[in-house]
Structure 1
Amino acid sequence: MFNLTLEQINESNAIHTTTEIHQQPAVWQELVTDLFEQQESYKTFLDSIYIKHPTVRVILTGAGTSAFVGDTLVPELARQNQQNIQFESIPTTDIVSNPTAYLFKDTPTILVSFARSGNSPESVATVTLGQEIVTDFYQVVITCNKDGQLAKNIQGDDKSITLLMPEKANDQSLAMTSSFTSMTIAAYMLFTENVFTKDVAHQIIDSAEQLMGKIGAPIDEVLEFDFERIVYLGSGLLAQLSHEAALKMLELSGGQVVAIHESSLGFRHGPKSILTDKSAVVLFMSQDPYTRKYDLDILRELAAVQSGMKIIVLTETNDEEVEKLADWVISVNAGTEPISNDFHLALLYVVFAQALALKKSIQLGITPDNPSPDGAISRVVKGVTIYDYKE
């Protein structure tokens, strides 16, 4: 897997992380097969809410990586729905500390909770606050753990539904990988106005399978460059995805690699000052012709910088100009049909970011399954005090 032998994986204490990244195409296949069978009942639940209220607010929420699921989805879901549904992404960590800034009594709200374990204190507290503050309050729990508190709390509640991810998506590693992509796909299939067909699913899954088999070698080439800083860039929802990509590097390198994210246009406005001769820049290239112009502009600007910095570009298909400007180009579409939107590309791009962080972790001598042995961060966050709320 990723040009790593089983011996190397075991010696590096990386078996969970490596397996959980590599298994994603198979997990996605299991997930979409299950969701195609249940999609109608889920849509009926949502339609009953939409019909009842003139406008409905849908808050996508979670903490850390789970929050980035919503960040990545909202631009695409908001673009598709121009009617009575308002999509927002708000982390539980913001809602818990400032509930009245985000939860409104007279606004019908569907709270979509993303959770690997379902036991994070902020996630459980956010639900409690929603129930206390919002009059017409509904829940969708998208989780990888059927035994988690979030899933248990809504059993028997006819104003709530649970979407349970395949068992393998409940990552045992500290870093969330297959849990992130699985929950992202599940929410997209639930809320998309476009038809997520079996053909589209097959195209993405097939491309992911082929990407898993080929990215080990280019990642090894990238790692010959001893970068100490990494910047992830993208536009639109790919800018949001870059937050998750940067977090994977930060987590799996134990903080030894400084990792930031920004939009392609926003990078010039201050964050560009982070670049040094020991920097790597990863650009998530949009497939949208208009948006792509802005991605190309920042690529040209970065390529013109006279320094030791290196540039990696993720793109749908091979592009002659991109090949000339970047140090490494990785195309992700293995099929003959074009990928229809940046959301589908995001599922493929994040696989590269996960695998790069994994191999950088091993290179640094860190154990990817537990890159924080001192307990600074943990699989389920600890040390959070939840205070009673009185309206």
Structure 2
Amino acid sequence: MFHLSKQELQKGLAGHTAQEIYQQPEVWKESLSIFEERKEEIYNFLNSIYIKHEKVRVILTGAGTSAFAGDILVPELQKQDQGNIQFEAIATTDIVSNPTNYLFKDTPTILVSFARSGNSPESLAAVKLATDIIDHFYQVNITCNPQGKLVINTKNNENSLTILTPEKAHDQGFAMTSSFTSMMVICYLVFSKDATANEKLQTVIANGERLVEDLVSAIEEVLSHDMERIVYLGSGSLGQFAHEAALKMLELSAGKVVAVHESSLGFRHGPKSILNDKSIVVLFMSQDAYTRKYDMDMLKELSGEPKDIKTVVLTETADEEIKKYANWAVVVNSSKQLLGNDFYLSLLYALFVQTLALKKSIQLGITPDNPSPDGSVNRVVQGVTIYPI
């Protein structure tokens, strides 16, 4: 698996993280089945809210990777549903520190909580604050842990709905991988108006099964470059996905690789100063023809830099122009069925960025399952004091 030795694949070294990255296509398939089994119940719950209120606010929330899941989903969900539902992504860390900026008494609100453990203090505090402040408050918990406090606290609550991810998505490694993508898949299915979602996800799954076998050779070529800094770029939803990509590298390299993110257009406005001769730029190419023009312009600009910058471009389909300007071009969709939006692409791009971070961690002599043995950061956040409002 990922050209790792038997020793490296031991649990507690890289074994949990490697398996949790590798298994994702299977986990997506199970997530789709979970949704199909509960679809009627889910729609009944949501429709009972929608018919009560002229307008409903849906806040996607979480902390860290769980927050980024909402950031990635909201642009696509809002584009699909421009009626009486307003989608927003607000991190629990923002809600807890500034509740009156984000929670409004007279606005009917569904809080969608993404949670791997369901025990993070900010997740629990955000729910408590919303319950106290908002008159018409509803919850959808999308979580990996049936024993988490988020689930236990909402049992028998008719205004709450819990959807559990597949059991194997409850990552045991430090970094969120299966949990992240499976929660996004379920949330997309719950709120999307995309009538082809099932079919498109089957295409994503088939490509994912191929990619987990094929990506590692390209990644090893990339890592042969003496990299100290890595920049992830994208536009729209993929610009938000770049945030998660940078966090994965930062987490699994224990901060030894400087990892930043920016939008393709925003990169020129100062952040480009970070580039030096030991930099790699990973560009997430949009499938949207209009957006793609801006991504391509950035790629062309980077290829003309005097510094020895290496570029990796992830793209849905093969493109001769990308091959001309990029050092490495990674095609994620080998089927004839185009995916149609950048959310689907983000799932396949996630396999690359997670595996890249895993392999870089091992290259640096770090233990990916526990990259911070000194406890400076933890799998479930610690040290948070929640103050009464």
Shorter-chain TM-score category? over 0.9
Equivalences for 1:343-362 in 2 at 5 Å? 343-362=343-362
Letter in 2 for 1:165: T
- Aligned to 2:51, the other structure's residue is in SS state helix
After TM superposition, the structure 1 stretch with the greater mean CA deviation from structure 2, 97-106 or 32-41, is 32-41
After TM superposition, the structure 1 stretch with the greater mean CA deviation from structure 2, 28-37 or 123-132, is 28-37
Equivalences for 1:237-316 in 2 at 5 Å? 237-316=237-316
Q: For the residues of structure 1 that align with 2:40 and 2:302, how far apart are their CA atoms?
A: 47
Instruction: After TM superposition, give the deviation of residue 11 of structure 1 in Å.
Output: 9.3
Instruction: After TM superposition, give the deviation of residue 162 of structure 1 in Å.
Output: 0.3
Contiguous gaps of at least 5 residues in structure 1: none
Note closer, same or farther for the CA distance 1:282–1:153 as it changes in structure 2 (3 Å cut).
same
Which residue matches 2:33? 33
Contact 1:12 1:366 in 2 (8 A): no
Equivalences for 1:77-226 in 2 at 5 Å? 77-226=77-226
Contiguous gaps of at least 5 residues in structure 2: none
Over residues 251-288 of structure 1, what are the superposed CA-to-partner deviations in whole Å (9 max), with x where a residue is unaligned? 00000000000000000001000000010000000011
Which residue matches 1:68? 68
Which residue matches 2:336? 336
- Aligned to 2:381, the other structure's residue is in SS state coil
After TM superposition, the structure 1 stretch with the greater mean CA deviation from structure 2, 151-160 or 31-40, is 31-40
Give TM-score, length-normalised by structure 1.
0.98
Letter in 1 for 2:234: G
Which residue matches 1:2? 2
Structure 1 runs of 4+ with >6 Å offset: none
Q: For the residues of structure 2 that align with 1:43 and 1:236, how far apart are their CA atoms?
A: 28
Does the alignment pair 1:59 with 2:59? yes
Letter in 2 for 1:312: V
- Aligned to 1:20, the other structure's residue is in SS state helix
Contact 1:80 1:194 in 2 (8 A): yes
Instruction: After TM superposition, give the deviation of residue 334 of structure 1 in Å.
Output: 2.3
Over residues 218-267 of structure 1, what are the superposed CA-to-partner deviations in whole Å (9 max), with x where a residue is unaligned? 00000100100000000000000000000000000000000000000000
Over residues 102-157 of structure 1, what are the superposed CA-to-partner deviations in whole Å (9 max), with x where a residue is unaligned? 00000000000000000000000000000000000000000000000001111000
Instruction: After TM superposition, give the deviation of residue 9 of structure 1 in Å.
Output: 2.7
The number of residues matched between the two structures is 389
Instruction: After TM superposition, give the deviation of residue 217 of structure 1 in Å.
Output: 0.3
Letter in 2 for 1:37: E
Instruction: After TM superposition, give the deviation of residue 10 of structure 1 in Å.
Output: 2.9
Instruction: After TM superposition, give the deviation of residue 352 of structure 1 in Å.
Output: 0.3
Contact 1:206 1:334 in 2 (8 A): no
Which residue matches 1:42? 42
Does the alignment pair 1:367 with 2:367? yes
Over residues 70-91 of structure 1, what are the superposed CA-to-partner deviations in whole Å (9 max), with x where a residue is unaligned? 0000000011111110000000
Over residues 25-50 of structure 1, what are the superposed CA-to-partner deviations in whole Å (9 max), with x where a residue is unaligned? 11111110121121121011111111
Over residues 277-325 of structure 1, what are the superposed CA-to-partner deviations in whole Å (9 max), with x where a residue is unaligned? 0100000000110000000000000011022110000000110010010
